[in-house]
Amino acid sequence: MRNALTFLSVVAVAALFTSGCAGPEQKLGRGMSNVAEAARGGEWRRSVEQTAVFDSPEAGYTVGFVRGFDRSVARTGVGLYEVITFPFPPYHPIFTKYLAPEPVYPDNYTPGLWSDSMFDTDTYVGMSGGDVAPFVPGSRFKVFDNN
């Protein structure tokens, strides 16, 4: 009986310390994704596209560029804040009136999963495909992708 109580108390303490970690985990992941915005350039591309469509093509390359730069700096700052403060509440996205909680892409292109042996089931056939240059922004040339 004594061993069972010790075991149950250890299990209860472990459950107490390991449960409820989804909030900090999501906040850290969202923050890391937002910090990488400067390299990804999604806000720039989306702002240029949206400004060119809704305002004018001439304004897309000037006003859209500046607007995208501002939004990228804001998203990177929010990401740094979330990375630094991820262990502490609140865990919900902040600053959502100006920025979407998740990274944005232009409406004309939304990337999917890389066609890789980790995600594909055709590795037993001996071939797989995917983006030819997935690290190049705007690369859309795919090999062996039927979707």
pLDDT of 124-144, one tens digit each?
555 555 666 666 766 666 655
Q: Do 79 and 124 have their domain in common?
A: no
pLDDT at position 105 is: 82
Q: Do 127 and 101 have their domain in common?
A: no
- Is 90 part of a structural domain of the chain? yes
> Which of left, alpha, beta for 11 (phi over 0: left; psi -120 to 50: alpha)?
alpha
pLDDT, tens digit, 9 for 90 and up, residues 50-101: 999 999 988 989 999 999 999 999 999 999 999 999 888 888 888 888 888 8
pTM > 0.85: yes or no: no
Residue type, 93: P
pLDDT at position 52 is: 92
Q: What are phi and psi of 97, to 5 degrees?
A: -75, -25
- Is 89 part of a structural domain of the chain? yes
Total of domains in the chain: 2
d(CA 111, CA 9): 47
pLDDT at position 62 is: 92
- Is 3 part of a structural domain of the chain? no
pLDDT, tens digit, 9 for 90 and up, residues 14-54: 555 555 677 888 999 999 999 998 888 889 999 999 999 99
Q: Do 90 and 55 have their domain in common?
A: yes
Q: Do 30 and 89 have their domain in common?
A: yes
Q: Do 30 and 85 have their domain in common?
A: yes
Q: Do 82 and 93 have their domain in common?
A: yes
Q: What are phi and psi of 19, to 5 degrees?
A: -90, 155
Specify burial of residue 69 (Cβ count, 10 A radius: 0-12, 13-18, 19+).
middle
Residue-range definition of the domain harbouring residue 45: 20-109
Q: What is the mean pLDDT of residues 100-108?
A: 83
Q: Do 42 and 60 have their domain in common?
A: yes
Q: Do 35 and 101 have their domain in common?
A: yes
Q: Do 105 and 133 have their domain in common?
A: no
Q: Is the pLDDT of residue 115 over 90?
A: no
Q: Which segments of 57-108 does DSSP mark as H helices, in order?
A: 57-84
Q: Do 59 and 127 have their domain in common?
A: no
Q: Do 143 and 78 have their domain in common?
A: no
Q: Which residue has the higher pLDDT, 62 or 8?
A: 62
The rounded radius of gyration (Å) of the Cα atoms in the chain is 22
